[in-house]
Structure 1
Amino acid sequence: MVRKIGNPYLLTAIAVIGGGLFGFDISSMSAIIAGKQYRCYFDQSVDGSCTGPVPSVQGGIVASMAGGSWVASLFSGFLSDAIGRRRAVQSATVMWVLGCIITSAARNIPMLIVGRVFNGICVGICSAQVPVYVSEIAQPSKRGRLVGIQQWAITWGILIMFYISYGCSFVKGPAAFRIPWALQAIPAIVLCIGMIFLPESPRWLALKGRWRECEQVLVLTHGHGDEYSPWVGRELEEIKDWVDTERQSWTAGYMQLFSPRYLNRTHIGLFTQIWSQLTGVNVMMYYITFVFTMAGMTGHQLLISSSIQYIINVVMTIPALIWIDRIGRRPALLAGSTFMGIFMFATAGIFATYGTDPGPEGVDGFKEASVQVNGAASRAVIACSYLFVASFAPTWGPVSWIYPPELYPNHLRGKAVALATSGNWIFNFALGYFVPPAFVEIKWRTYLIFGIFCVLATIHVFFLFPETSGRPLEKTTEMFEDPKGIKYIGTPAWQTKNYYSESVREEHGEDLPK
């Protein structure tokens, strides 16, 4: 029998490699689409001027990965419930390796899109089920930190692959993009092997009636090998109580998520992922080279300036990993969307006031770079981009993965998070396709649209998103069902509290006041 890893940080570090794959895709595209080798090989210009795919096709290439992710995230709930969280992630890695083979060997745009769809299938499964797995295995006081590592893995994937792609930009010919796309297969292989050494989710085992295995996992991960640990006993009893109470209402389909009892939770989880995309983060990640081209950056200066943004993304995610459980989910979301909206409006104002029209061919051959600023205005645009990412990284970035798994009961969590994550990917797909033509057609007003979305997200969170930090997963129902017996109304979101302190004391065996 394979010896399983019990350290929650180590097992999380292995599981979130799945998030790193998404990051690899983001930066491999953002770095490569600016390269002459890519633009010449997939050129669609009439005169052969190496301007690359036309904006609508380029949007389709980028969006194809998200399209595959959307489909996969929806069926990932059934897959995860059937074979387990761990095996679902392992199966996804096979699709990623296959996608890397196809994209690195792509002879034309359709073949490239097919490969990216396969990559998307893997990312869709991993992005939906890795947060479920980690949240179901983590202690309440550490749950936000551990699930948030998924976002940190994404930022590291973005940074690492960006520099690999930048290094390969000096290679002549198609190898400049084939090498990075092929190297993306390596972390997927590591993930597939690493998952062999991880235990299955104890809550999934409980749902399958495998109580002895459930207890063994809790002893391994929460009891540090001590089967008489009080904390393990309490958690096992909570899981058993929940199973006994809720077994009568179990159904296997998605439709229960839209019943009166769960509709509010479904809408909150779904919009957590939707708003994370509508903040405009896609503009700042996939298409940052277009943005900085409009700000006067060219050549290798363009790629280096873009990489600074990815470094900021990695560094600024760290505060969330340290403090997100203490601070709570609501304050992070409210602050993040507020500041992101400010920087989106500021960028729109700078382009509207100081921008000039470079003509139909755009800046430096990029039609998407349809506005140009110089001097102080250029530096202001770059500063706003950096500050936007610094606002997203510790807030909506990690919390969009942390929050949805905390909202749902055990028997619905796999499918519910899959549905919520599908919201991320369908809007990722739509915005990935929308942004290049939007830069061409409505120019600086693209930023205005995202700024308005940030304001709407702030309002929505304040009135309808409750605080979940520190609560055991089995106790979140109390927030959504009125204790006086009026079902499905629950506690107003702005009146919910952070239970981090109470959960820490319970985990250390301290008695709480009655």
Structure 2
Amino acid sequence: MWRTGNIYFITAIAVIGGGLFGFDIASMSAIISTKAYLCYFNEGPDGPGYNDSTDCSGPHSSTQGGITASMAGGSWLGSLLSGYITDKVGRKSAIQVGAVIWMVGSILCCASQDIAMLIVGRIINGISVGICSAQVPVYISELSPPSKRGRLVGTQQWAITWGIMIMFYISYGCSYINGTAAFRLPWGIQMTPAVILFIGLLFLPESPRWLAKHGREDEALDILALVHAKGDDEQQIHVTWKELLKPAMLNRLHIGMFTQIWAQLTGMNVMMYYITYVFAMADLKGNNVLLSSSIQYIINVITTIPALIWLDRWGRRKPLLIGAVLMMTWLFAVAGIMATYGHAAPAGGLNGIAAESWITPGRAAKAIIACSYLFVASYAPTWGPRILGLPTRTVPSPRKRQGSSSQHVR
């Protein structure tokens, strides 16, 4: 079968795996405030089951939190499984497994008859996100040259932002459909990138490092020649997870783990999933909520671009520090504005949604919206890519196989 060696084309296909996370975020963010969703999954006096009554308060706030978090729970499980899967079948095949799992989860979400079925579908989607989010950066880094590695791996975050924006507008358009198709259609459409990912990967090479680790040096050399015609000394192909527990690696392990943890704790996921709630509490109503939310997703796409261009020049530590300070500033500003100029919403929350528990009218509301945009603009080029360091790409050198010296490249 024909295979491409163009690293940019390889990256463009592979990062669709990252885009799946973006599709999940938007498919929930844009839908949770629509009447069709609130009525069908209603836990109020007229639910569950679809109806078009005036009392469609949707799931209880704790239930909605569980629906949203179910994807993250599945992602946790998928990330644990991803290492085992990729060691057995390879980087490329592991991502394809993730694509198939995403299709299954999307089918279940699309066909959901109740909240339990929706949660199961989102857990399965999360498993896919966990596998793809873990393995796509590894796959790209093991194929890309060191001089371009940060930029290429960072495109996964850009793919996430594109996935969010595209799916949000699809969901926004579907919100005008009457009945359950308003949410079933976008949840079905989100299978499309997984299909493209699975088929596209058929034409991409396997990681040369994985091939070398499994004794397939000739294939690894062929792929190196195909991609960038450079080989280097194979010194780390037999590294296992036990290496992470060695004293020399503990600091790196700590940095890697907690960078990922703090990236999730910055509040970005809240601003992505629940931005419609935040803007409703900022006194926006009707379609203005979704339209204003979509601007945030456009900002997310655009402000990620500087990191792709200059990430390898900036380094890693300073952008993370600057981003953390800026995000903290905007979040404190939102909290202060709400506390000073806002007040509690009526009992039951705005629009009958308990989670919309506060309201800030007038000019203060505009300041909240502006701070929300600035928060996203601060996250996207800093903590979004969050690439502190990437694995050494080590594969056998043709010169070493011939008995000559070889060079170790990082």
Q: Match of 1:103, as an amino acid?
A: C
Give the equivalent residue in structure 1 for 2:341.
354
Cα deviation, 1:240-270, whole Å, max 9, x if unaligned, reads 2x24xx85xx4x4x44423323211111110
Give the equivalent residue in structure 2 for 1:25.
24
Is 1:272 the counterpart of 2:236? The answer is: no
Structure 1, unpaired ranges of 5+: 224-231, 412-471, 476-514
Give the equivalent residue in structure 2 for 1:71.
77
Cα deviation, 1:416-465, whole Å, max 9, x if unaligned, reads xxxxxxxxxxxxxxxxxxxxxxxxxxxxxxxxxxxxxxxxxxxxxxxxxx
Give the equivalent residue in structure 2 for 1:3.
2
Task: Check whether the contact 2:57–2:351 (CA below 8 A) recurs between aligned residues.
Answer: no
Structure 2, unpaired ranges of 5+: 48-54, 396-406
Separation in 1, partners of 2:391, 2:98: 25
Q: How does 1:493-512 map to 2 (within 5 A)?
A: none
Give the equivalent residue in structure 2 for 1:50.
56
Is 1:191 the counterpart of 2:210? The answer is: no
Give the equivalent residue in structure 2 for 1:211.
217
Cα deviation, 1:263-310, whole Å, max 9, x if unaligned, reads 111111101110101111012100001100110111111000000000
Separation in 2, partners of 1:409, 1:259: 20
Task: Check whether the contact 1:333–1:395 (CA below 8 A) recurs between aligned residues.
Answer: yes
3-state DSSP class of the match of 2:359? coil
3-state DSSP class of the match of 2:384? helix
Deviation beyond 3 Å, 4+ runs, structure 1: 407-411, 472-475
Give the equivalent residue in structure 2 for 1:201.
207
Q: Match of 1:63, as an amino acid?
A: A
Separation in 2, partners of 1:288, 1:357: 18
Identify the match of residue 298 of structure 2 among 292, 296, 311: 311
When the two structures are superposed, what TM-score results if normalisation uses the length of structure 2?
0.92
Task: Check whether the contact 2:138–2:391 (CA below 8 A) recurs between aligned residues.
Answer: no
Give the equivalent residue in structure 2 for 1:87.
93
Separation in 1, partners of 2:46, 2:104: 35
Identify the match of residue 145 of structure 2 among 90, 114, 139: 139
Give the equivalent residue in structure 2 for 1:34.
33
Give the equivalent residue in structure 1 for 2:105.
99
Separation in 2, partners of 1:50, 1:195: 43
Task: Check whether the contact 2:16–2:194 (CA below 8 A) recurs between aligned residues.
Answer: yes
Identify the match of residue 369 of structure 1 among 356, 373, 376: 356
- Distance of aligned partners of 1:473 and 1:170 in 2 relative to their CA distance in 1, 3 Å threshold: farther
Per-residue deviation, 1:362:
1.4
Separation in 2, partners of 1:38, 1:56: 16
Give the equivalent residue in structure 2 for 1:289.
276
Cα deviation, 1:350-388, whole Å, max 9, x if unaligned, reads 111111111321122221111111111000000000000
Is 1:403 the counterpart of 2:388? The answer is: yes
Q: Match of 1:43, as an amino acid?
A: N
Cα deviation, 1:385-408, whole Å, max 9, x if unaligned, reads 000000011111112xx335x157
Separation in 2, partners of 1:59, 1:90: 29
Q: How does 1:354-503 map to 2 (within 5 A)?
A: 354-399=341-386, 402-403=387-388, 406=390, 475=410
Task: Check whether the contact 1:265–1:408 (CA below 8 A) recurs between aligned residues.
Answer: no
Cα deviation, 1:187-226, whole Å, max 9, x if unaligned, reads 1011000000000111112222222211111111113xxx
Cα deviation, 1:137-167, whole Å, max 9, x if unaligned, reads 1111111110011011100100010000000
Q: How does 1:111-260 map to 2 (within 5 A)?
A: 111-223=117-229, 232=230, 236-237=231-232, 239-240=233-234, 242-243=235-236, 250=239, 252=240, 254-260=241-247
Task: Check whether the contact 2:22–2:162 (CA below 8 A) recurs between aligned residues.
Answer: yes
3-state DSSP class of the match of 1:364? helix
- Distance of aligned partners of 1:370 and 1:141 in 2 relative to their CA distance in 1, 3 Å threshold: same
Q: Match of 2:200, as an amino acid?
A: G
Separation in 1, partners of 2:178, 2:362: 33
When the two structures are superposed, what TM-score results if normalisation uses the length of structure 1?
0.74
Task: Check whether the contact 1:289–1:302 (CA below 8 A) recurs between aligned residues.
Answer: yes
Give the equivalent residue in structure 1 for 2:399.
none
Q: Match of 1:17, as an amino acid?
A: I
Task: Check whether the contact 1:356–1:372 (CA below 8 A) recurs between aligned residues.
Answer: yes
Task: Please identify, of 305-314 and 348-357, the stretch whose mean Cα deviation from structure 2 is larger.
Answer: 348-357
Separation in 2, partners of 1:334, 1:208: 40
Q: Match of 1:42, as an amino acid?
A: F
Task: Please identify, of 343-352 and 364-373, the stretch whose mean Cα deviation from structure 2 is larger.
Answer: 364-373
3-state DSSP class of the match of 1:33? coil
- Distance of aligned partners of 1:346 and 1:328 in 2 relative to their CA distance in 1, 3 Å threshold: same
Identity of aligned residues (%): 59
Per-residue deviation, 1:331:
1.8
Task: Please identify, of 300-309 and 363-372, the stretch whose mean Cα deviation from structure 2 is larger.
Answer: 363-372
Task: Check whether the contact 2:91–2:207 (CA below 8 A) recurs between aligned residues.
Answer: yes
3-state DSSP class of the match of 1:390? helix
- Distance of aligned partners of 1:177 and 1:47 in 2 relative to their CA distance in 1, 3 Å threshold: closer
Separation in 1, partners of 2:331, 2:153: 28
Cα deviation, 1:154-187, whole Å, max 9, x if unaligned, reads 0010001000000000000101000000011111
Cα deviation, 1:58-110, whole Å, max 9, x if unaligned, reads 00001111111110111100111111100000111111111111110100000
Task: Check whether the contact 1:39–1:53 (CA below 8 A) recurs between aligned residues.
Answer: yes
